């Protein structure tokens, strides 16, 4: 039993479970963050966002709509199907629970398939509101919370096939809760580097937001994971990420040698390390040559004509 759920939220949960029975819907479950945080030993606040599911597709959303209408609570659509219902500073997120294509035809219950289609074992724990009991469909969720490990419910290939952005969520959770990412996830990212790079380019704003949040929780851990995954240099160089790279003197790790030369010589023509032999501060030699108009003075020092090149 989740004993530290605030009483005002328990009352709303009990009311929600009763409504589901009246509608002849399935049992109501808490899923995701609140259940995970319970096993991580974190306190549940009175203004929490709680994820709700009845593991029956769109009926979860219908239950949310009915709950908001019955109690005259405000609500908003999160996307085309899922909704958020607000009450007394807290909220219920009603999720349809998509099923992964890889297990769509599996001869199992909707509850089993929807739960295992969630990203990580620690986020797939269920709490039966009516019977006050936990349900660990993967059989690994509670253990992984205790051992502080992030692993996928399905294989990484299956879990990330439809949403590779989950990899960035893994980094975020690891930094926020001081968790370790499983070796099979790390190996997947390394083996599928090109696909991960494409995902980062497509989801630029999401990547920037999540990585910057992760850095605020634990910058060292965030950078260590990015380096271990070998995707440090692919994260957009902005915000907290840029600042922490500068602070930790990791800019050279971020840029490749070719990128450094390009940064030194944006218009082309010189290799970066040739500049010192061409330019000399505060001397006639600081002017680059234009054509063959240079001469040597009496001291055998090459002098360049300061005339600007002819423009047409």
Encode pLDDT of 90-129 as tens digits. Answer: 999 997 778 888 898 889 888 888 889 999 999 999 999 9
What phi, psi does 129 have (nearest 5°)? -65, -40
What does the pLDDT read at residue 23?
Answer: 94
- Which range has the top average pLDDT, 76-90, 179-193, 271-285? 179-193
Domain regions of the chain by residue span: 1-147, 155-254, 270-303
Q: What is the mean pLDDT of residues 285-300?
A: 51
In the chain, what percentage of residues exceed pLDDT 70?
Answer: 81
Name the pLDDT band for 5 (thresholds 50, 70, 90).
confident
Check if the beta carbon of residue 42 is closer than 8 Å to that of residue 148: no
Give the pairing of strands 133-135 and 49-53.
Answer: unpaired
One of 1.10.110, 3.40.50, 3.30.60, 2.50.20 is the CATH number of 155-254, namely 1.10.110
Answer with the residue of higher pLDDT: 100 or 306: 100
Name the pLDDT band for 79 (thresholds 50, 70, 90).
confident
- Which range has the top average pLDDT, 86-95, 140-149, 240-249? 140-149
What does the pLDDT read at residue 306?
Answer: 47
pLDDT in tens, 15-71: 999 999 999 998 999 998 899 999 999 887 777 789 999 877 788 889 999 999 999
Answer with the residue of higher pLDDT: 280 or 242: 242
User: Average pLDDT over the chain, rounded to whole?
Assistant: 84
pLDDT in tens, 186-230: 999 999 999 999 999 999 999 999 999 999 999 999 999 999 999
CATH classification (class only), 1-147? alpha beta
Q: What is the mean pLDDT of residues 141-147?
A: 96
Name the pLDDT band for 256 (thresholds 50, 70, 90).
low
Judged against a pLDDT cut of 60, whether residue 290 lies above it is answered with no
């Amino acid at each position: 039993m989740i004993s530290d759920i605030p009483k005002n939220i328990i009352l709303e949960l009990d009311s929600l479970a009763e409504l589901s029975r009246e509608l002849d819907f399935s049992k109501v479950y808490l899923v995701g963050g609140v259940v995970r945080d319970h096993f991580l030993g974190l306190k549940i606040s009175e203004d929490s966002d709680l994820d709700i599911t009845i593991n029956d597709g769109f009926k979860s959303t219908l239950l949310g709509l009915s709950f908001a209408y019955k109690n005259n609570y405000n609500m908003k659509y999160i996307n085309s199907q899922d909704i958020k219902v607000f009450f007394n500073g807290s909220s219920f997120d009603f999720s349809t629970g998509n099923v992964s294509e890889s297990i769509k035809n599996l001869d199992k219950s909707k509850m089993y398939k929807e739960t295992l289609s969630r990203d990580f074992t620690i986020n797939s724990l269920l709490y039966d509101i009516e019977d006050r009991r936990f349900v660990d469909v993967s059989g690994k969720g509670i253990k992984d919370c205790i051992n502080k490990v992030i692993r996928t419910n399905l294989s990484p290939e299956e879990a990330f096939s439809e949403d590779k952005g989950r990899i960035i969520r893994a980094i975020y959770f690891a930094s926020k809760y001081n968790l370790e990412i499983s070796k099979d996830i790390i190996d997947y990212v390394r083996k599928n580097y090109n696909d991960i790079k494409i995902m980062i380019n497509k989801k630029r704003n999401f990547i920037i937001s999540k990585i910057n949040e992760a850095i605020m929780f634990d910058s060292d851990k965030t950078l260590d994971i990015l380096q271990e995954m070998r995707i440090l240099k692919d994260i957009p160089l902005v915000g907290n990420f840029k600042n922490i790279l500068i602070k930790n003197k990791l800019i050279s790790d971020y840029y490749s040698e070719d990128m450094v030369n390009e940064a030194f010589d944006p218009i082309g023509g010189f290799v970066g390390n040739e500049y010192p032999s061409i330019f000399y501060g505060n001397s006639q030699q600081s002017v680059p040559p234009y054509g063959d108009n240079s001469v040597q003075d009496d001291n055998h020092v090459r002098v360049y004509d300061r005339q600007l090149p002819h423009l047409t």
